[in-house]
Amino acid sequence: MIKIDDTREIIISVADRLFSRFGFHKTSMDEIAKIARKAKGSIYYHFPSKEDLFREVVLKEISQLKNVSSLVLQNQIISSSDKLKEYVLTRMSVMELSLNYHETLKADFFEHYKFVDDLRNEFDAWDRTNLKNIINQGITDGEFSININIDILADVLIMILKGLEIPFFVQNRYKDYSTHFNDMFVILTRGLSK
Amino acid sequence: MIKIDDTREIIISVADRLFSRFGFHKTSMDEIAKIARKAKGSIYYHFPSKEDLFREVVLKEISQLKNVSSLVLQNQIISSSDKLKEYVLTRMSVMELSLNYHETLKADFFEHYKFVDDLRNEFDAWDRTNLKNIINQGITDGEFSININIDILADVLIMILKGLEIPFFVQNRYKDYSTHFNDMFVILTRGLSK
Amino acid sequence: MIKIDDTREIIISVADRLFSRFGFHKTSMDEIAKIARKAKGSIYYHFPSKEDLFREVVLKEISQLKNVSSLVLQNQIISSSDKLKEYVLTRMSVMELSLNYHETLKADFFEHYKFVDDLRNEFDAWDRTNLKNIINQGITDGEFSININIDILADVLIMILKGLEIPFFVQNRYKDYSTHFNDMFVILTRGLSK
Amino acid sequence: MIKIDDTREIIISVADRLFSRFGFHKTSMDEIAKIARKAKGSIYYHFPSKEDLFREVVLKEISQLKNVSSLVLQNQIISSSDKLKEYVLTRMSVMELSLNYHETLKADFFEHYKFVDDLRNEFDAWDRTNLKNIINQGITDGEFSININIDILADVLIMILKGLEIPFFVQNRYKDYSTHFNDMFVILTRGLSK
DNA sequence: AATGAATGAGGGTTCATTCAT
DNA sequence: GATGAATGAACCCTCATTCAT
């Protein structure tokens, strides 16, 4: 019975599908309207512009990304070493499904659409905080040695993870590469644990 | 005196500059023609389409990328360990200047322009062969231990390097990240040398 | 306590402000509704169309224009010569504040919105009658000579006054031109008084 | 045989007709294209924007306005008094045919299209110079007295003439008013000649 | 070998008006 | 009386490509 925001949801849903499939530029408002069986004007009633519609779609995905990742972070039982691995794996596998987040990874976006940049920077900061927290907790608990500068390790880890997002998700090599993922993790953290 | 292909070269040169500056999509044939002081029709006389013109431009850059990298590979004197590092550093620093290669890294290209995919795959294979050769030479020379599976290390190394191309070049973080680059190299190859 | 027509008045008031500030075309029903904190549908409940709403607003201003001018006309004491001058000056200065009347002066209105034409013609007739009355009264009182055809002078005077409305009010040159205004008056009525 | 600028001329001609008939806003590029039997893109090949096309059309008319008026100015035989009258009459009657110049008179233009303002200001300056020249020549020749401040008279004259442009041309009252025009001229210049 | 005029499909956006509730 | 979601026609503009000369 409750039909509030019905149209709005339909539009977001259709836009979600199309943006993730064809990308921001190749998806026209015309097509979204047509597939949603709504008038083009109706889209503009709910969303001020194409960019705003896209932002809405991405916001949803980032929100979900955070929610799932948070579950891992709250786990009090597992060791820091396992938590680090678990966090990264979860992060990557959930991200695989965030089709429109991939779109924001597309580089030519960064040049012209500040709002996307903002969204990503905010998420990146959140991500970085989590990783550093896990590592620092590991040190506090005496689980990680400090033969290696922890800050540097964190920075390198983040740099690599962010780098892998493109080949993994945008270039659809997640499956090809995921076999190497564990190995990489071993190599990177070798010497980390005492 | 010889002016054969003069027009052709002028067009490529202008296109090179514009594509690398504004990207493929934001560069219009109109603008190329105007700056090259040629008629738009002339471009189409020499190049069947905008894509073909772009391909030509990128081919040139990849060719140069290979040439410079080859110099390092041919060095017979330095150790495999140094050669590995040298190769990677050279590859990355030359690539920093390959502005149109960056353009091919932009994700939405891969979805729609097969030729770009082909170009990159061919270069990737060449790259992978070089890295594996260096590592294998290190083993043959008894310089590298085999505590770790060499194939896996090579794959992981390549995976990471390819991943870093986007943040380094497309997102212009080369300078930010290059400070971490040596650290990463140390972490990755820890335990590699005997 | 009495709140009848509350909504109606609010809408007119907001429309008045917006039309006079941004003009008829640049003011959208959306904006009127938003600022009036009413639903767009409510505006259409009270006014059949945007035009009708505008007409209502203008009617109000013309009514005021007449009221103020009437005060001068009723003055029985001053000479016809002074009354003529006073009437014209009052008319112009009150009109300066009739922001939406200015809007009707904008020419492209006349081509398409008959109601505006009607409003203006009705006001013009009223205006003309007043001017002729003053002049004729001056003749009757023996204050004005008849070296010049009175009807012609009245017509010319009206023609000029109407002509000045655009530069004065719509083009905002009231202040620039008002210095010349007295001079013009002297020149026009030279030879009028005995 | 010579077909250079054929299309361009056709477009200008059609635009001229439509702009002068329906006004700038009510004339769409679509309609111009359709009537000119050209693709919409073709219009944009020749003119960067709708505004530019309109400017071209108006420039033509102002140019013609100047040309015709110049003939009067060059007349060395008639008296300054006659020349003044002749100049004003010519100016007004030619202007009657400048349908798109009328369009620029429409007030809401001034708010947003600077180029129109520029065109008009330039023409106004030219016009003012001519009028002052004629009057000054009359003084030099001893034809005009100086019982009245000449500068003031010129300014008032210009103010009135510019004011009449709207009622005359935009509101199509040229014919209604032109009967009064001579009378106005007499009244204004009364006392001017010795 | 070169030109440049012409094309036409497509893109994002605006807005007065309608109507079921 | 009042609402606000929905409409759809219209608008200006872009650009890769074609083709007669």
Residue type, B124: D
Tokens of A111: 């040049």
Nearest residue (CA) to C1' of E9: D41
Partner B contacted by A167 (CB < 8 A)? yes
Q: Do A183 and B23 touch (CB under 8 A)?
A: no
CATH of domain C54-189: 1.10.357.10
Nearest residue (CA) to C1' of F7: A39
Strand E contact residues in chain B (124-153), C-beta within 7 Å: none
The pLDDT assigned to A34 comes to 93
B and A interact (at least 3 Cβ pairs within 8 A): yes
Q: Name the most confidently modeled range: A97-101, A173-177, B137-141, D151-155.
A: B137-141
Q: Where are the domains of chain B?
A: 1-47, 50-189
Whether any strand F atom is under 7 angstroms from the Cβ of D45: the reply reads yes
Nearest beta carbon to residue D107 from set C107, C149, C190:
C107
- Give the predicted TM-score (pTM) of the model: 0.80
Start-to-end C-alpha separation, chain A: 60
Q: Please, which residues have CB within 8 angstroms of residue C133's CB and are 6 or more apart in sequence?
A: C73
Whether any strand F atom is under 7 angstroms from the Cβ of A110: the reply reads no
Sign of CA dihedral C141, C148, C92, C100: positive
Q: Do A167 and B162 touch (CB under 8 A)?
A: yes
Is pLDDT above 60 for B6? Answer: yes
Per-residue pLDDT reduced to its tens digit, B109-150: 544 566 677 777 888 889 888 988 888 888 888 877 666 677
The CATH class given to the D57-189 domain equals: mainly alpha
Partner B contacted by A26 (CB < 8 A)? yes
Considering the domain delimited by C1-47, tell me its CATH architecture. Answer: Orthogonal Bundle (1.10)
Asked which of C65-79, C103-117, C175-189 is least confident by mean pLDDT, the reply is C103-117
Whether any strand F atom is under 7 angstroms from the Cβ of C39: the reply reads yes
Alpha helices in chain B (DSSP H): 6-22, 29-36, 40-46, 50-74, 80-97, 99-105, 107-112, 114-140, 150-165, 174-189
Report residue C42's pLDDT band, with 50, 70 and 90 as the boundaries: very high
Nearest to D13 by CA among D48, D43, D51: D43
The pLDDT assigned to B40 comes to 92
Return the SS3 of D143. Answer: coil
Nearest to B154 by CA among A184, A165, A191, A167: A184
Q: Please, which residues have CB within 8 angstroms of residue D20's CB and are 6 or more apart in sequence?
A: D99, D100, D102, D103
Beta bridge partners of C144: C193
The CATH class given to the B50-189 domain equals: mainly alpha
Query: For all residues of chain B together, what is the average pLDDT?
Result: 80
Inter-chain Cβ pairs, chain A and chain B, closer than 8 A:
98
Q: Do C191 and D191 touch (CB under 8 A)?
A: yes
Whether any strand F atom is under 7 angstroms from the Cβ of C6: the reply reads yes
Whether any strand E atom is under 7 angstroms from the Cβ of B29: the reply reads no
In percent, the amount of chain C with pLDDT more than 90 equals 23
Per-residue pLDDT reduced to its tens digit, C119-146: 888 888 898 899 889 888 888 888 876 6
Contact call for residues D144 and D135 (beta carbons, < 8 A): yes
Q: Is residue C128 exposed (0-12), middle (13-18) or buried (19+ Cβ within 10 Å)?
A: middle
Q: Do C187 and D102 touch (CB under 8 A)?
A: no
Strand F contact residues in chain B (26-85), C-beta within 7 Å: 26-30, 40-41, 44, 49-51
Residue type, C93: S
- How far apart are the C-alpha atoms of C163 and C155, rounded to whole Å? 12
Asked which of A157-161, B50-54, D69-73, D99-103 is least confident by mean pLDDT, the reply is D99-103
